[in-house]
Amino acid sequence: MTSTRFHNLTIQAVRPQSGDATALRFAIPEDLKQTFSFIPGQYLTLMATIDGEEIRRSYSICSAHLDNFLEVGIRRVEGGRFSNHALSLKAGDTIPVMPPEGRFTAPLGGKHNYLLLAAGSGITPCLSIAKSVLESEEDSEITLVYGNRTAGSVMFLDDISDLKDRYTKRFSVIHMLSREQTEVPLFSGRLDGDHLHRLFERGVVDPELFDAAYICGPQPMIESVKDTLSHWELSPQNIKFELFGTFDTPPPAKARSEDAIDGAIVEIILDGSQKTIQMDASKQTVLAAAQQAGLDLPFSCAGGMCCTCRCKIVEGKAEMDLNYSLQDWEIEAGFTLACQSRPLTDNLVLDFDAS
Ligand code: FES
């Protein structure tokens, strides 16, 4: 089934990056400018048919809010079918792209002081936030702490240097390297909660300055950094995080409970209309069942990480196999991820239009 949620975009330029990565720059036709407008921190979902199979992957936007193009950063993942395909694309190729999504966002306007903490390809949404905030908010400040293995694996080094040159007083960056010695010993090592704690303790970074922190990297890094930020009394609602900038290798699901209902009736509300499917929760998720029934639900990673399939339970109960993106308050408010949900009641009503 071809999804109507995608638009064919042409690659305007390819900017190779160190660390076996690249940036794909898309031209946005005039009639799609509104559809593809974005809030810094959001991502695009790209689609390709590889060996006869339709594959989707999400990549964070790394361009600035005011740029007249959209750019995503992609690092090759060993064995990653999509990333290997994406790194073979060239200027002039077209690829189906879903409009921007995501809630790891820094809405523009006002004056802010943000701490951005990125590891590896997690730099992409942070770069967009840094560029956009510095360009659009003349009194705002950004501190970026960016962790990589080696100097040779740092993505977007030129873009970061350019920000340093342009915004000398409002942008500062600390590069941390885990497999190479740095000139400043404190900057050698992995970016994690302990290391961030040392940066705070020694006054290299002042945690009291920040309105909010944005974290993007692998899950262990996010968890430990979140703990440190909470310890230094940054309030939870001002700590935003996203699991990496790409979802090429979804983690394994947890074991399912035995309460999942076979033969459940699931009503789906989407784009103002209602459809009903019947499904066996022991065998498939709501997303898989809906796809099998020919419904065009929004999804990207199918791994509980991107939140594209977020919907609200308005009747009945469901459980998720895993969840790396919904926050506690969203679960309490009844939101779930269709790609991970299995009905626990005979009837389940899911509203994809609920915000
Ligand atoms: S499609 Fe990514 S969380 Fe469901």
Q: Which comes out higher in pLDDT, residue 326 or 350?
A: 350
Band of residue 308 on the pLDDT scale cut at 50, 70, 90: very high
Regarding whether 137 and 78 lie in a shared domain, the answer is no
pLDDT of residue 245: 47
Burial 64-94 (b: 16+ CB within 10 A, else e): bbebeebbbbbbbbeebebbebbbebeeeee
Q: Please report the pLDDT score of residue 200 as a whole number.
A: 97
Out of 187, 209, 243, pick the residue that ends a domain. 243
CATH number at residue 220: 3.40.50.80
CA–centroid distance, residue 205 to ligand 1 (Å):
35
Give the HSE-up count for residue 105: Cα atoms under 13 Å, Cβ half-sphere. 13
| Contact 72 CB / ligand 1 (< 6 Å) | no
Q: Is 212 exposed, middle or buried (0-12, 13-18, 19+ CB in 10 A)?
A: middle
- pLDDT at residue 246, rounded to an integer: 46
Ligand 1 neighbourhood includes 297 CB (under 6 angstroms): no
Residues 133/214, Cβ–Cβ less than 8 Å = no
> From CA 85, how far away is CA 124, in angstroms rounded?
19
Q: Do 337 and 315 sit in the same domain of this protein? A: yes
- What CATH number does the domain containing 75 carry? 2.40.30.10
Cα torsion at 209, 214, 219, 224 (round to 10°)? 10
Specify the pTM: 0.90
Nearest-angstrom CA–CA distance, 280 and 299: 20
Q: What is the pLDDT of residue 251?
A: 52
Bridge partners for 337 per DSSP: 310
Q: How confident is the model at residue 328 (pLDDT cuts 50, 70, 90)?
A: confident
Tell me the pLDDT tens digit for each residue of 266-298. 999 999 999 999 999 999 999 999 999 999 999
Q: What is the pLDDT of residues 17-75, one digit of tens each?
A: 987 999 999 999 999 999 999 999 999 999 999 999 999 999 999 999 999 999 999 99
Closest ligand 1 atom to 301 CA: 2
Which atom, in ligand 1's list, is nearest to the CA of 299? 1
214 belongs to a structural domain: yes
Nearest Cα residue to atom 3 of ligand 1: 304
Of all atoms in ligand 1, which is nearest to the CA of residue 304? 3
Report the alpha-carbon distance of residue 209 to residue 200 in Å, rounded: 11
What is the number of structural domains in the chain? 3
- Reading phi first (left if > 0) and then psi (alpha if -120 to 50, else beta), residue 82 is in alpha
Q: Which of 66, 101, 136 is the last residue of a domain?
A: 101
* 24 phi/psi in degrees, rounded to 5: -100, 125
Determine how many CB atoms are found less than 10 A away from the CB of residue 107: 10
Q: Pick from 309, 320, 326, 352 the residue to mutate for probing ligand 1's pocket: most ligand atoms within 8 Å of its CB.
A: 309
Across the range 88-106, mean pLDDT stands at 96
Cα of 100 from ligand 1 centre, angstroms:
14
How many Å lie between the centroid of ligand 1 and the Cα of residue 20?
26
Per the structure, the complete domain to which residue 272 belongs is given by 262-351
pLDDT digits (tens, 9 = 90+) for 169-179: 999 999 999 99
306 lines ligand 1 (CB under 6 A): yes
Q: CA of 26: how far to CAs of 47, 95, 193, in Å?
A: 14, 9, 36
Domain limit, last residue, from 60, 76, 101: 101
224-258 pLDDT per residue, tens: 999 999 999 999 889 999 987 445 555 555 556 67
257 domain residue, yes or no: no
